[in-house]
Amino acid sequence: MTPYRGQFYWALFLTLFLASISIFRPKIIGELVGQYVATKDKDGLLIGTIIVVALLITEAIGSYFRAYISQELGQNVIRDIRNQTFSHITKLKLHFFDNNPLGMLVTRVISDIETIADIFSQGFIMIIGDILTILFVISTMLYLNWELTLIVIIPIPILLWATKIFKNAIKKAFQDVRNEVSKLNTFVQEHITGINIVKIFNREKVELEQFKEINKKHRAAHIKSVWAYSIFFPVVENLSALSIALLVFYSLFQINEPNADIQQIITDLTSFILFVHMLYRPIRMLADKFNTLQMGMVGSERVFKLLDTKEFIHNEPNKAAVSFDKTIEFKNLWFAYNAPNFVLKDITFEVNQGETVAIVGATGAGKSSIINLLSRFYEYQKGKILISGKDLKSISIDQIRSEIAVVLQDVFLYSDSIFNNITLGNPNISKAQVIEASKLVGAHKFIMNLPNNYDFNVKEGGSMLSVGQRQLISFLRAYVYNPTILILDEATSSIDSESEELIQNAIDKLTEGRTSIIIAHRLSTIKKATKIIVLEKGEIMEIGNHQQLIQNDGYYKKLYDTQFNEQ
């Protein structure tokens, strides 16, 4: 909160100011009742009433500004933390997302950070205000009448003991609530994302029962906190009433004493009854505010734990630029997602400038892993990848991502226009460039048939488009960025024959004179590749062009014959 310490100091000042002036009201009201009402002094009663009203108005104005400044301070802080957290998450390597559910991350960025705002608006500053109020009230009462003060604080030890029990119980309950909220977010996010699977396999009722069970635990956690409140607050009210009863009982003895000052006794009794309410209210609220503070601390602990996660791909952005228009070398490369289970074993091959290299193999052979390493989504454990003779790890990630474009099999589109999904908001890519690329790929015709054409909103995940159309949009996205190296990861596997023919023609034009790496399931699409690398269980089985590998009558020949017979 360092950038906003001015707001913080103003909130503290107003808290101190409100705590100091609040103690005058009970004293003045006691004087009004004991001195002016009893003697029917209308002028004194009027003046005293005006003073009380003025104090109330001053407190109301001060409370308004304190609440506004505190809330603004909290919102400023969580805005900064939320920006920092989101930026941090986007920089984490993909391995982190493999091991952490997305629903948990959503909880951290949204609801956990929201609890941090309560530290400032309802927790820390309000706790300081309540503590100051308690100290000022007790000091004032001791100054006015130490005997009545001792009477008032007789039930306080019981209240402190009850507060301690309540604080511990509610802390545990709130921790359970946060855990259950995270589980709810994770479950809902996963099942809405995978709603097609739920419907295809008729899992609606089964998943609903699982959701009910999680929701039941969430409710039970909340009920624990409700149970604690339902016991604690009546205890406080009864102890407050006990203090007042003791005051009245003691005052009766004072009235019966000889030479008793009735007016002073009434003045003190009235003032101290109001002081009792001022004393018990912050003590009661302190327990609640401590738990608000604890909730914020629990939320901040989760957020800071995420911010302390340093699972980054090592990057040196100030490194000198490297020419990507050169040979790419894979030398004795070993890689495992979870060591020591290596999915790539001693991979060695070259991709010369301008070549089209295809990588084929069965599912799980390690094809996509090679692409993930070249794009630096993951880090390899042994060996090297060299570009222009430079180790890939010594090249800045910014340059790698700007020089290499990847078209994935699983296309993700944002709930936005086709144009923005292609350009990703890059102001340097004009609409004319997008239209030219669309015509080249063959997507212009279907886009023009949509309402609003290039401004058509594809909705979340591109649900308004067919699988083939989404794939074409993904291909356009890579094309308009004009990469030095183009990677197609099963990019034609989900496209129908008509779309495949269109995109194959575009691929031929796009790969001309450009280094390209194609991961292909359909072997018919890679016959023109300069070099074909055949993988099996993370190892290279064969390397050659289509004709050479067919003549070798090896692993590639078997794959090709199998697909040909199936077709």
In the chain, domain spans: 2-307, 328-566
| Residue 284 tokens, joined | 């009661």
Cα separation, 463 vs 465, in Å, equals: 5
Measured CA distances, 56 to 50, 66, 110, 125, 161 (Å): 10, 15, 38, 21, 33
Is the distance from CB of 221 to CB of 180 less than 8 angstroms? yes
Measured CA distances, 73 to 14, 65, 120, 299, 380 (Å): 14, 12, 7, 17, 45
- pLDDT score of 53: 92
Q: How far apart are the first and last CA of the chain?
A: 65
Q: What share of the chain is helix, strand, coil (3-state, %, to 5)?
A: 70, 10, 20
- The residues with which 347 forms a beta bridge, in sequence order, are 333
List the Cα angle 184/187/191 in 5-degree steps. Answer: 140
| Residue 242 tokens, joined | 């006990």
Q: For residue 22, give the nearest of 236, 277, 289, 241 by alpha carbon.
A: 277
pTM to 2 decimals? 0.71
- Is residue 56 classed exposed, middle or buried when 0-12, 13-18 and 19+ CB atoms within 10 A define those classes? exposed
Is the distance from CB of 560 to CB of 520 less than 8 angstroms? no
- Written as one letter, the residue type at 448 is M
Cα separation, 16 vs 45, in Å, equals: 29
| Residue 488 tokens, joined | 């197609």
Express each pLDDT in 456-478 by its tens digit. 888 877 777 777 778 788 878 88
- pLDDT score of 58: 93
Q: Is 325 helix (H, G, I), strand (E, B) or coil?
A: coil
Q: For residue 175, give the nearest of 299, 52, 64, 91 by alpha carbon.
A: 299
The CATH number of the domain covering residues in 328-566: 3.40.50.300
Measured CA distances, 489 to 8, 10, 103, 260, 362 (Å): 53, 58, 27, 97, 14
Residue 221 CA, distance from chain mean position: 22
Is the distance from CB of 436 to CB of 427 less than 8 angstroms? no
List the Cα angle 355/356/359 in 5-degree steps. Answer: 130
Q: Is 405 helix (H, G, I), strand (E, B) or coil?
A: strand
Cis amide leading into 340 (omega within 30): yes
- pLDDT score of 169: 81
Measured CA distances, 95 to 72, 109, 343, 379 (Å): 37, 19, 15, 10
Please report the DSSP string for 326-369 in residue order.
Answer: S-EEEEEEEE-SBTTB-SEEEEEEEE-TT-EEEEEESTTSSHHH
Is the distance from CB of 534 to CB of 555 less than 8 angstroms? yes
Is the distance from CB of 414 to CB of 461 less than 8 angstroms? no
| Residue 452 tokens, joined | 């609003």
Cα separation, 563 vs 520, in Å, equals: 12
The number of residues making up the chain comes to 567
**Topology, domain 2-307:** ABC transporter transmembrane region fold (1.20.1560)
- Backbone φ and ψ for 333, nearest 5 degrees, come out as -85, 130
Sheet of strand 344-351: strand arrangement: 344-351, 328-335, 382-387, 390-391
Cα separation, 525 vs 541, in Å, equals: 20
Find the helix packing angle between 467-480 and 497-511, rounded to 10°.
10
pLDDT in tens, the chain (567 residues): 788 889 889 988 998 898 888 888 888 888 888 777 777 788 888 888 899 899 999 999 998 998 888 888 888 888 898 899 898 888 888 778 877 777 778 888 888 888 887 777 777 778 888 888 888 888 988 888 888 888 888 888 888 888 888 877 877 787 788 788 878 888 887 788 777 777 777 888 888 888 899 899 889 888 888 888 888 888 888 888 898 888 888 888 888 777 777 888 888 888 888 888 888 888 777 767 777 777 788 788 888 888 888 877 777 666 667 788 788 888 988 988 887 788 888 888 888 888 888 888 877 788 888 888 888 888 888 888 888 888 888 888 888 888 888 887 777 788 888 888 888 888 888 888 888 888 877 778 888 888 888 888 888 777 777 777 787 888 788 888 888 888 887 766 655 666 667 667 667 767 777 888 888 777 767 777 888 888 888 888 888 888 888 888 788 888 878 776 655
Express each pLDDT in 376-389 by its tens digit. 888 888 888 888 88
Is the distance from CB of 117 to CB of 293 less than 8 angstroms? no
Q: For residue 310, give the nearest of 110, 108, 88, 105 by alpha carbon.
A: 88
- pLDDT score of 496: 60
Measured CA distances, 357 to 204, 353, 430, 528 (Å): 45, 10, 31, 9
Q: For residue 351, give the nearest of 320, 403, 387, 381 by alpha carbon.
A: 387
- Backbone φ and ψ for 482, nearest 5 degrees, come out as 50, 60
Cα separation, 322 vs 387, in Å, equals: 8
Residues whose CB is less than 8 angstroms from the CB of residue 395 and which lie 6 or more positions away in sequence, other chains included = 319, 322, 387
